[in-house]
Amino acid sequence: MSKLSLDRILQTQGFGTRKYCRGLVEDGEVRINGEVIENYKSTIETEGLKFTVFDEEWDYHAHLYLVLHKPANFECSRKPSHHPGVLTLLPEQFTWRDVQPVGRLDHDTTGMLLMSDDGPFIHAQSSPKRHIPKVYVATTAEPVTDELVAQLLSGVQLHDEPEPLAAKICRRLDDNQLEIILEQGKYHQVKRMLAAAGNHCAALSRTAIGQLSLTSLGLKEGEWCYLTTEQIALLVPDSL
């Protein structure tokens, strides 16, 4: 059990500075169980807490674990340079909480993107040492041949890599589409592997991480959701 003052709760949830949050409470903008709370010093149990700010309901989360179905032409950067950042697709207060992408997808790559404000979680999910499988669907410029699939499975040599990199699983889905599962997490890996194998990636989408698939979440492009404890467990390598 954990109790915090109401202004502190609002601050931890990203609604602004402590002073601003106190003003929200004193102005009658915060409700708990339908009741307006005007004393920012009120101590509230955080477990299972639901509260309303500006007539919008929120759940208390000590840490945020999110999945975004990333559209094309969004950058996975807190300081985007050429396209909007993925943080613009989330509620504004998540930026105050220092939510950031777990790893990166290229601006033109779509699909499953984890986001969190939990540093150890971000590090664990981003570390190549964890060998967390990530599933991609690639549309190719040239037809997918048996030879291409065989090359990707046996390994291709990339510039600046000491050894060839191989897909864990690779299978043809259509004439110009294949599914590829990687564990290494190298920079632009799918695109570079296809180029090294003599083809070209025309479009790319990440469809799953670990045993958690984008399809199971039912998210359309641009939509996001909180991850449950059970869903987070599907991201852990030991559960694979």
Confidence label for 237 from pLDDT (cuts 50, 70 and 90): low
**Domain spanning 3-59: which CATH class is it, in words?**
alpha beta
The CATH architecture annotation of domain 65-126+216-239 reads: 2-Layer Sandwich (3.30)
Give Cα separations from 16 to 13, 42, 100, 137 (angstroms): 8, 18, 18, 40
For CATH 3.30.70.580, the residue range(s) in the chain are 65-126+216-239
Q: Is the pLDDT of residue 114 over 70?
A: yes
Give the residue numbers marked as catalytic: 106
Task: Give the model's confidence band at 76: pLDDT under 50 very low, under 70 low, under 90 confident, else very high.
Answer: confident
Which amino acid, one-letter code, is at 107?
A: H
Ranges for all domains in the chain classified under CATH 3.10.290.10: 3-59
pTM of this prediction? 0.89
Count CB-CB contacts under 10 A for residue 42. 16
Tens digits of residue pLDDT in 184-209? 878 889 999 999 999 999 999 999 99
Pairwise CA distance, residues 47 & 218, whole Å: 27
Q: Per-residue pLDDT for 239 more than 60? A: no
What is the CATH architecture assignment of 133-209? 2-Layer Sandwich (3.30)
Mean pLDDT computed over 161-188:
91
